[in-house]
Structure 1
Amino acid sequence: MSEKRTIGILGGAGQEGSGLAVRWAAAGHDVLIGSRDRARAETAAAELTALLPGGTIRGVDNAEAAHAAEIVVLTVPYAVQQATALAAAESLRGKILIDVTAPLAPPKVGTVQLPAGGSAVVALQQALGPDVTVVAAFQNISAHHLRDLDHVMDCDVLVSTDSAEAAEAVIALVADAGMKGWHAGPLANSAAAEALTSVMITLNRKYKISGAGIRITGGAGH
């Protein structure tokens, strides 16, 4: 495990948030999952804790998760991305915010539909201001197998941020979740990962893949 962290996951009762919660808790981190509905978070936390060989996951509301955490993870749908983060803006000051958002616009989620300006995550950084270090990561992983700790997550994670220190911290958390992270450059490059999400959805559907992912080849260990 990397340095032990307290991680707060906003929207953590959803599929991707809960899966990451299980993997990070299993790796030894203190994990809080947040929800707009505290009771829902508490129920989800109890279910997730039952999957762990040891340790616990705590369920709280989004505000408490953001306040108590050292690193905050945003795992909500694009439609409520900015509203959820801005509601916790004061608690996010001085912290890393990992944003997994891809700007999917139902019903055509398999079609790339980037927002004006090119990146949903860049737009969030602009809205939050420089006191919050936003990092884009985990946009291109399948949440389908995350909760299964015996399942090997055979994919890489692109990490985009303007902070080299934040990139290092997030890449360590990617490793703790059982994947390999790559610093893919500045936050503006998150537009590529956001667009790839729709491509991965299309591949999953067309080729009946249970969880398509990406792999960076030619590097050490590949």
Structure 2
Amino acid sequence: MTEPIDPTTLTVGVLGGTGAQGKGLALRWAKAGIPVIIGSRAAERAEASAAEYRELTGTDHVRGADNATCAAEADVVLAAVPWESHAETLKGLVEPLRGKILIDCVNPIGFDKKGPYPLPVEEGSVAQQAEQLLPESRVTAAFHNVSAVLLADLDQDEVDCDVLVLGDDREATDVVRALADAIPGVRGVFGGRLRNAYQVECLTANLIAINRRYKVHAGIKITDLG
């Protein structure tokens, strides 16, 4: 029987850790006792955010660094950068991400006067673009559909949401599921191979539309799993 994964033994790097989704996940992981490195193009900006997150969580295991240092010193790395800079960011991190688990949570979403809509991705999905750019990394896709607002609101003891985890490396997806489970109220659910990531990435457009109409912070729940 496989030993359960203890996520507190991992250091998680968050590329884009100064943005909304990166901030929310960094806060929740730090609160759960997981060491976190905030990554940004500017180390000073990353450290400023890390100082804020240490204060918010009452912990001392959050620090800031430039993206390359973040990628090199973390065991698992989350890509939470804007879609527009996704490829450029990852191209510069091939070496420090070699052999690492990369969690891609980037959504290819556009906005116009009709609201949010999915953007086409030449490689099939954002996660598949990451896979092509990082052929020696263990690319997974997860955390696309969980509200950044709820994650960042530490007055909310739990975040009631399932996280679909996709990837072709079973061990890597198990690690990412454990990181999801470390957030109170969240459950990591294997959602299929990486080639199925696009519809999960684009589902965020539907959730944004729901949130706007009903004034909520909607997520997803998978039924019949017990």
TM-score bucket of the superposed structures, by smaller chain: over 0.9
- Runs of 5+ unmatched residues, structure 1: none
Query: 1:190 aligned to 2:197?
Result: yes
Using the TM superposition, give the Cα deviation of residue 106 of structure 1 relative to its aligned residue in structure 2, in angstroms.
Answer: 3.6
CA deviation string 1:94-137 (max 9, x = no partner): 110000011112446611223234311112211221x1111100
Q: How does 1:33-44 map to 2 (within 5 A)?
A: 33-44=38-49
Residue 68 of structure 2 corresponds to: 63
Query: 1:141 aligned to 2:149?
Result: no
Instruction: Provide the identity percentage.
Output: 43
Query: 1:174 aligned to 2:202?
Result: no
Which segment is superposed worse, 69-78 or 111-120? 111-120
Q: 2:6 aligns with which of 2, 6, 10?
A: 2
Using the TM superposition, give the Cα deviation of residue 55 of structure 1 relative to its aligned residue in structure 2, in angstroms.
Answer: 2.9
What is the letter of the counterpart of residue 158 of structure 1?
L
* CA–CA distance in structure 2, aligned partners of residues 79 and 160 of structure 1: 22
Change in Cα spacing, 1:79 to 1:175, as seen in structure 2 (3 Å) is same
Residue 212 of structure 2 corresponds to: 205
* CA–CA distance in structure 2, aligned partners of residues 158 and 11 of structure 1: 20
2:13 aligned counterpart, secondary structure: strand
Using the TM superposition, give the Cα deviation of residue 53 of structure 1 relative to its aligned residue in structure 2, in angstroms.
Answer: 3.2
* CA–CA distance in structure 1, aligned partners of residues 31 and 200 of structure 2: 27
Q: 2:222 aligns with which of 216, 219, 222?
A: 216
* CA–CA distance in structure 2, aligned partners of residues 186 and 109 of structure 1: 29
Residue 17 of structure 1 corresponds to: 22
Query: 1:118 aligned to 2:118?
Result: no
Q: TM-score, normalised by structure 1?
A: 0.93
Using the TM superposition, give the Cα deviation of residue 142 of structure 1 relative to its aligned residue in structure 2, in angstroms.
Answer: 0.8
* CA–CA distance in structure 2, aligned partners of residues 117 and 125 of structure 1: 9
* CA–CA distance in structure 1, aligned partners of residues 128 and 17 of structure 2: 22
* CA–CA distance in structure 1, aligned partners of residues 213 and 23 of structure 2: 27
What is the letter of the counterpart of residue 89 of structure 1?
V
Query: Contact 2:90/2:133 (CA < 8 Å) preserved in 1?
Result: no
- Runs of 5+ unmatched residues, structure 2: none
Residue 98 of structure 1 corresponds to: 103
Query: Contact 1:114/1:195 (CA < 8 Å) preserved in 2?
Result: no
* CA–CA distance in structure 2, aligned partners of residues 46 and 117 of structure 1: 37
* CA–CA distance in structure 2, aligned partners of residues 205 and 23 of structure 1: 25
Q: 1:47 aligns with which of 52, 56, 71?
A: 52
Query: Contact 1:114/1:191 (CA < 8 Å) preserved in 2?
Result: no
CA deviation string 1:168-188 (max 9, x = no partner): 000000011231011111001
**Structure richer in strand, relative to its length:** 2
* CA–CA distance in structure 2, aligned partners of residues 83 and 105 of structure 1: 19
Query: Contact 1:2/1:176 (CA < 8 Å) preserved in 2?
Result: no
Q: TM-score, normalised by structure 2?
A: 0.92
* CA–CA distance in structure 2, aligned partners of residues 172 and 85 of structure 1: 24
CA RMSD across the alignment: 1.5
